[in-house]
Every structure is written in C-alpha cells, then in structure tokens.
Amino acid sequence: MNNLSDFNCELAFITDECRKYIKYGKAADYIPVLAKADVNKLGVYIISKDNEYFYGDYDDLFTIQSIIKPLILLLALQDAGVERVRSLVGVEATGKPFDTFNYTDLALKSEHINPMINAGAIALCTLIKGSTFQEKTNRLLDFTRKLAKNDSIEIDTTVYLSEKATGNKNRALAYMLNAYKMINEDVEELLDCYFGACSIKVNCKDLANIAFALAHCLPNEIINEDDARFVNAILSTCGMYDGSGEFALNVGVPAKSGVGGGIMAVVPFRMGIGVFSPALDEKGNSVAGKKILETISKKMQLSIF
C-alpha cells in the first residue's frame, strides 16, 4: 500500500494486531505517578497532506516526557542559533541510556552529549529566551500549543510534582553540567523548567500535528526548513534512546519516544504520526507503539533509508 486511501480499516486492523505486544512491556515506575498508567491503552493518529486517520485511545491524555526534547532543541535553535547550540551539545548518539551520567573518565565536553538525552536537553533549556525559568517553561508550553494546534494543552501538575520530588538523577546530571562549567544556572530553577516541560499533557493528535510540522509537508511560519532538517537528523540517530539503531532498521523514520508511552514519528514531506501505549520495553520505548509504526512503515514504504 503506497498511499492513505481507505486506510481507516487497515489502521484498525494493524492496531488491534499489535495489541498483543503490550504484555511484553510495563509502565515506567521511576516516576511514581507514571507507574499508575493503564498499560492496556493503545492509540494512533496519522496526519498527511490530505487526510487524517485515527484509531483506539488516540484522544487519551498523557505527559509528553522526552518528546519535549526536539521542541527544546527547536526553540533553542530559534532563540540562540545553530552555532550556540552546537557549542553546548554534540550530535552523536551516545549508545547509552537517556539518563546516564557516566560518560567519560575525562572532563565532560559538549560532544559527549546530544539534545535527545536528559543532560543535553537540560543544558539547552538555558538557551531558551526568558528572564526567569518560569518564562522559559511558559514559552515551551506556548510553542507546544502552536505546533500541536491545540491551545488547551496544559502542564500536569501532579506529574510535575512527582518528577520534582524524585528526580535526583536529573539533579546529578544538572550539577555535573554545572561542575564542568557547561552551564552557570541555579540548578533547581533550571530543573523546574525541565520537569515542567516534560509534564505537558498531550494526545496522539497533538503528537501527529507536531510531527507533521517537522515533516515540513506544508510551508509554515513556526519551523524553518533548516531547523527541521537539523532536528530530524538528530531524531534519526538519537530519538529512540539506545534503541535508535534498531528503530532505524525496522521503521526508518525520524522519531522521538517518551516514557509516558508516546512516540512521535516524522515522515519527511509526507506525514506525521502520533502513537500512545504506556507499556515500555527496557529502553523506555513503547513496545506496541513501535510495532504499530513498524507495520505501517512496511505497508506504506515509509522508510527514508
């Protein structure tokens, strides 16, 4: 199948077939609130130039978590420029978990981190314009609303407080960045910005709209093509944590996952896809969500490789 014609029934069949993979995952438990997620939820939303298709729990809300990272990168590129961004983070995959902090025996340098792991995203929050970190958070929230075409998007205060209370590994990362003089900020205020941004509530359609904007299917005034190309390149190599290589082989499109269960997939110049299923594999990626994207990619020949 090479187009989206009459795809609703096919999408329903694919989603129901992939439901069986839920049993191989579990909800994230390092953030207490996320451990309460209903792992049986499963939804998908596809937006192309001409059509929208959806099935399952596509309108259920969940927190964006790490899917905010490409938006942090985009806003940092717009606010500070590519040279300043490149001076703070590298572009190479680390091959390590998203929250690792044992990077090297030598001094930490920008090339040791990328924008899709926690340390890189935390560092990039410092480049977002705003006289306070609350203003930076508000700008990220507003940016998310614009890209998702949804003014009702809000921050989940319960999740934010849960992350703030238990996010000691992220505190270690932020203090490490400070120790190696990569940032010079109040760590707790910086983390408030990051935790708040990760706690933004979205649904599958929101993710599909964001991905559609990144796919640059239509001219838009929010993201320029150079920034979209930069972000999509990083997503292709780093967006699915340390499972990015396998995802590139099996699905073959730029994507970003989050431990809330979402995956945002970008098919350049063709479509945006949002998937939700909170049962995660050991690397923090939605198990059934990956299978849905793999099946759709094979049927529609979406791989860019």
Other Cβ atoms within 10 Å of 186 Cβ, number: 12
Name the catalytic one among 85, 89, 231, 259: 259
Identify the active-site residue in 45, 69, 236, 256. 69
Q: Cα separations (Å) of 204 from 51, 56, 91, 161, 243?
A: 15, 10, 27, 24, 21
Residue 165 DSSP SS3? helix
| d(C-alpha 51, C-alpha 54), whole Å | 10
Q: Contact at 8 Å (CB) between 226 and 291? A: no
Active site residue 21: no
Would you call 69 a catalytic residue per the annotation? yes
User: Considering only CA atoms, which of 190, 239, 188, 217 is closest in space to residue 71?
Assistant: 239
Is 66 assigned a catalytic role? yes
Catalytic residue among 236, 241, 266, 275: 241
Q: Which of 44, 48, 58, 66 is catalytic?
A: 66
Catalytic residue (one of 21, 45, 58, 194): 194
- Is 103 one of the catalytic residues? no
Rounded CA gap, 74 and 235, in Å? 12
Q: Which residues does the annotation mark as catalytic?
A: 66, 69, 194, 241, 259
